[in-house]
Structure 1
Amino acid sequence: MDRTTWHDGQTPLNILVLGARLGGAVIPLVWSMLPHQGNCCTAARILLVARLLKVLPARRWAVVIADREFVGRAWCAFLRWKRIRQCIRLRKNTRIADELVRDLFTTLQPREVRTLFERTWVYGGWMHVVITLSPTGDRVIVASDLPVLDVLNTYRLRWAIESACSSLKSRGPNLEATHMTAPARISRLFGRLCIALAWMTRVGAQRTATHAPRLNNRGRAVVSVTRIGWQILTQAARWGGDDFWDCLRLLGMPFPTASTSVSRSVRC
């Protein structure tokens, strides 16, 4: 879950997005136009999740991953009520066990990972709390009801929804360039672009399944799955022929099964 925002002149545009990770990318499934700038309220998040639950039951949800904007007792209680696991970054001023989380493990070094010895009471429920320090010195505090060894690896997947939203804007079809401000029109256009994003990602996933992508020194793909699909799809649409029909058939086919990541050990 995340928000994507931009301005058209003096008009702020704000979309709350909930998506699923498929083929190495996040595909937005439901979204809501927010009538204001800034963070969304708990009710807006609950309504968005409820919309998706109508077509995708909770038993098929692996986990909800969200940034520190999406916290709160009522929100976490709702997810627990629906039996949806959560992996959420905490704000530094969050209080657990009568102590601010920013005061935990003050001697933490960059890239070092620590966790509390046992589950602790966070926003009305028992969750694991894992803390790490980024190379830039930013303290990342994540609470989750997942197994403790899976918490950080799961939270790292959150960047994919930010990448998906940017792929729909300046890095892709350039949603901002439409200069639309009517919420209903933007919502419809956003939906069409999400279909295009899913198509590009599916084509890219098919290619990377048979041709391993080139990796950089950190072991990350130089070109994303979505970008690979976009390159293939634009060429196929331009020249037509069998390549285009092959891409079109992929749009109706399921994504390959995601591989399971290896957990990383942490210290208490």
Structure 2
Amino acid sequence: MSVDRTTWEHGDAPLNLLVLGAVVHGFTIPLVWVALDHTGNSDTRARMWLVLRLLEALPARRWKGLVADREFIGAEWFRFLRRKGIRRAIRIRKDTVLDELSADEWFGELQPGQFRMIAERTTVFGESMRVVATRSPAGDLVIIATDFHVWETWQLYKLRWTIESTFGSQKSRGFDLERTGVTDPRRLERLFGLVTLAWLACLRVGVWRHEAKPIRVLAHGRKAMSVVRYGSEELRHVLRWVPKRISEILHVLICPFPALGQPETEVVSY
């Protein structure tokens, strides 16, 4: 699972959505969300409420874990996740105190591409956790408080970027969600739900189409388009030019996603 916010402005009205979802096929499928009535970071209560909503439908034993960026830290939040049986891989700030030293003091000498772990579990916001770190090629220090082993932590944390891919395809690179004039929080939540359903249809069709005819890979190694765009183009083509295939598309949409091996990620960001 991955949690993050997406925010934009309409005139003087800031729009701020907190979203929790499942990582599938290089994207995060939004499962629960709430429109915040303020700008800036989410608060612990809003995060807890979102997790509790999802736990009603998806028990913690079915979660691999939760990945999140530096906004999603704090003693109450970390303790809540542990009590609910949710394993964590959460990036922490470099000024976070770990056994009387800041994280920056523990890992400040790391060079790009190097990895390091504090040998024993340490206290992070009151919780006993492993702490691992690396420095990105751009020089950013990436420090993760985790309940997973070192290698698994990095594989999972790289998937955090999938929620950014989802937001991008729902907004400027796809459905242009930020062009809405809707500012009422409850209406915005309903609109986001409708956009998510349409987006999910494109993703499902794109995955199905990619299995039959893989997306072309360009010379630089990236795919010519995302699976969401691939599915969108297929849907438009069928609805406009081949209506006899609509029943085939409907069958695809009601079928579950195929079983996954290693989740697919096209972009990794620190």
Q: TM-score, normalised by structure 1?
A: 0.92
> Residue 151 of structure 1 aligns with which residue?
153
- Post-superposition offset of 1:209: 2.5
Alpha carbons of structure 1 residues 85 and 220: separation in structure 2 relative to 1, 3 Å: farther
* Partner SS, residue 57 of structure 2: coil
1:129/1:216 Cα in 2 relative to 1: closer, same or farther (>3 Å)?
farther
- Matched with 1:7 is 9
Shift of 1:118: 2.6
The equivalent of 1:212 in structure 2 is 214
Aligned partner letter, 1:20: A
Is the CA contact (8 Å cut-off) linking 1:130 and 1:148 kept in structure 2?
Answer: yes
Query: Gaps (5+ residues) in structure 1?
Result: 262-268
* Residue-by-residue CA offset, 1:13-46 (whole Å, 9 max, x unaligned): 1000001112332110110010000001100000
Question: What letter corresponds to residue 56 of structure 1 in structure 2?
Answer: L
Give SS of 2:254's match.
coil
1:183 deviation in Å? 1.4
Paired AA for residue 62 in structure 1: K
Partner Cα distance (1:56, 1:219) in 2: 36
Q: Percent identity?
A: 46
CA distance in 2, matches of 1:214, 1:109: 36
| Correspondence for 2:140 | 138
What letter matches 2:153 in structure 1?
V
d(CA) in 2 for partners of 1:216, 1:81: 46
Unpaired segments ≥5 residues, structure 2: 264-270
Q: Which residue of 2 aligns with 1:234?
A: 236
Match of 1:146, SS state, is coil
Specify the SS of the correspondent of 2:32: strand
> For residues 2 and 62 of structure 1, do their structure 2 counterparts lie closer, same or farther at Cα, with a shift above 3 Å needed?
same
Equivalent residue, structure 2, for 1:181: 183
Contact 2:73 2:90 in 1 (8 A): yes
Following superposition, the deviation at residue 193 of structure 1 comes to: 0.7
CA contact (8 A) 1:93 1:100 kept: yes
Q: 1:88-123 CA distances to partner (integer Å, 9 max, x unpaired)?
A: 000111111111001223221112222222322212
Is the 8 Å Cα contact of residues 23 and 256 (structure 1) preserved in structure 2? Answer: no
Q: 1:257 to 1:125 in 2, by over 3 A?
A: same
Q: How far apart are the structure 1 equivalents of 2:243 and 2:29?
A: 28
Q: Is the counterpart of residue 102 in structure 1 residue 104 in structure 2?
A: yes
Of residues 73, 76, 79, the one that matches 1:74 is 76
**Which residue of 1 is the match for residue 171 of structure 2?**
169
Question: What is the Cα deviation at residue 2 of structure 1?
Answer: 0.4
Taking the aligned partners of 2:55 and 2:234, their CA distance within structure 1 comes to 34
Answer yes or no: is 1:115 the counterpart of 2:117: yes
Residue among 18, 29, 32 paired with 1:30: 32
Secondary structure of 1:7's match? strand
Q: Give distance in 1, aligned partners of 2:261 and 2:213.
A: 16
Preserved contact between residue 26 and residue 159 of structure 2 (Cα < 8 Å)? no
